[in-house]
Structure formats: C-alpha cells, structure tokens
Amino acid sequence: MTVNHAASRPESIRVPRILSIAGTDPTGGAGVQADLKSISAMGGYAMAVVTALVAQNTRGVRSVHLPPVSFLREQLEAVSDDVEIDGVKIGMLADADTVTTVKSWLDEVRPPIVVLDPVMVATSGDRLLAEDAEAAVRDLCRSADLITPNVPELAVLADASEAQTWADAVAQARLVSARCDTVVLVKGGHLVGDRVHDALVDARSDPEGSPVPDGLFEADAPRVDTDCTHGTGCTLSSAMATRLAAGDDWPTALITVKAWLTRALRSADALHVGQGHGPVDHFVDLR
C-alpha cells in the first residue's frame, strides 16, 4: 500500500517551503548559502534562486557577475511551476532589471509571505546595489509583507541621515512603513550600547488587522562581543520568513529568531572561518 505522507501529516506541523532569492557567497556565511542554513535551522524546507554570482569572502567583495535576467526568470518559474511556495525571502538584487524581474514574478505568483532584505551594502562596506536601482527597491518594498533594513539601509529608504540613536531608527522605520505600506523590522545592531534592540514597526495608513500589536513590538538581547557578523542580515530575514510561514504570530517569530541568532553569534568564533568578519553558527542548536 502506498502512503501519501504529505496528505497524512497534520497541517500544524507541515514543513514550510521557503524560497530564497539572493546572491551567492562562496564562503557560506551570507547570501543564499546563509539563507539555506537559516531556513533549515528554523524548520523549513529551503530552496534558492540565484540573482548574482558574487566572488566574496569574510574580508570583502571582489567581483559580481549578473546572469541574464531571462535566466533569472527561468529559475523563478521553474520553482513556482512545480512547488507550492509558503514564503519567500529576497536578498541581493544588484540592479534595476533584476528588481523589476523579481517584482513581476511576485505580482503573478503572490506567495503568502514575502520578506525583503533590501541589501545595499555588505558587512565589509562593499556596495551591493547600483545607485540607480534604489527607486526600484523602494517600489519592491510595497510587494513585501516585511522589510528588514539595517540602520544604513533604513536611512537610504527614509531619505535621511543615518540614525545615531534607537529612537531615531524607530522614527525612520515609521516613516518607511507608512511610505512603503509595509511592516518594517528595524535592527539596532549598528548602534552602540550593551543591548541590541530590534522592533517590528507598522505605521501603515490602515491598521486594521495589523500583525504588530499597537503598531510597535520591541525585543532586545545582550550584545555579543564578536567580529563574526558576516551575513547576519541574510540570516535574520530568512529565519523570519520561515517562522512566519510556519504560522508563528509576528512577535513570537521575532522573539524566537532573535534568541536563536544570539546563540548563533555566541558560538560563531568557534567555527574559525575566515580572517575577516566570520559567519554566525547557524546550526548552533545541533552541536
């Protein structure tokens, strides 16, 4: 007798199928490689479509090769024509044509959860988004359920100077949330202080049914003393996509992901990967 395991599995424990759309990192700490680890660590089934081939390591980016956007579209269609997608995480898009191609596909497929990490600058300081693509990324934000900019990226989206305090960062997140009509996860890792604050901010004009209580939910954790911060943005955004697609409410997803990422940062030095900003330990809970 043949058993249909998918049909017999209780819906509450179904494995969320998450697609990462991002660039590569040969050293495995960022980009689609980090996303695949993050999605898996959070209990999802990980898939990936490559937007850019990036020659980088823990010390910086050496070069970027962009495949034709026609091939990007073929990758996207190959997944969505065959697999039911529960959530999408979008990372490095590099240029305006790539952004437009991804947005067109999103508008047609419209996955249940879309998390956009508006990648503009790598941890090393290397720019990963053409300046003429910033307007296209702002437009893409409207197609996302959640965007996860770091402090410098948030300033670009807000057309403001980089925030120096947590209060300023939250204020910019409110502005971007209202302007882009989406929820913003503002991250305080770039700010100074013994504790790192993150917050879900929802300042959309129609608060009806907001997943964020009272439009603001904050979580904090002790700052981890480590240089191993390569790919933390990729890691956080793909983890959030996975937990939201798995059915967590938004505050629970943030609490779960932030606690896991803190553990991953604490054990990162033990990996001994690279001579620059090393990766986090995505599978810390398995060791």
- Taking the whole predicted model, whether its pTM rises above 0.85 is answered as yes
**29-48 pLDDT per residue, tens:** 999 999 999 999 999 999 99
Known catalytic residues? 187, 229, 231-234
Polymer length in residues for the chain: 287
With a pLDDT cut of 70, the percent of the chain lying above it is: 93
pLDDT digits (tens, 9 = 90+) for 80-108: 999 999 999 999 998 999 999 999 999 99
Q: What is the pLDDT of residues 115-161, one digit of tens each?
A: 999 987 655 556 667 777 888 999 999 999 999 999 989 998 999 99
Domains of the chain: 16-271 (3.40.1190.20)
Using CA atoms, how far residue 201 sits from 34, 145, 146, in Å, is 25, 12, 10
* pLDDT score of 5: 36
Ranges assigned E (strand) in the chain: 17-23, 45-57, 60-65, 87-90, 114-116, 146-147, 183-187, 195-201, 216-222
Between the alpha carbon of residue 34 and those of residues 28, 38, 95, the distances in Å are 6, 6, 21
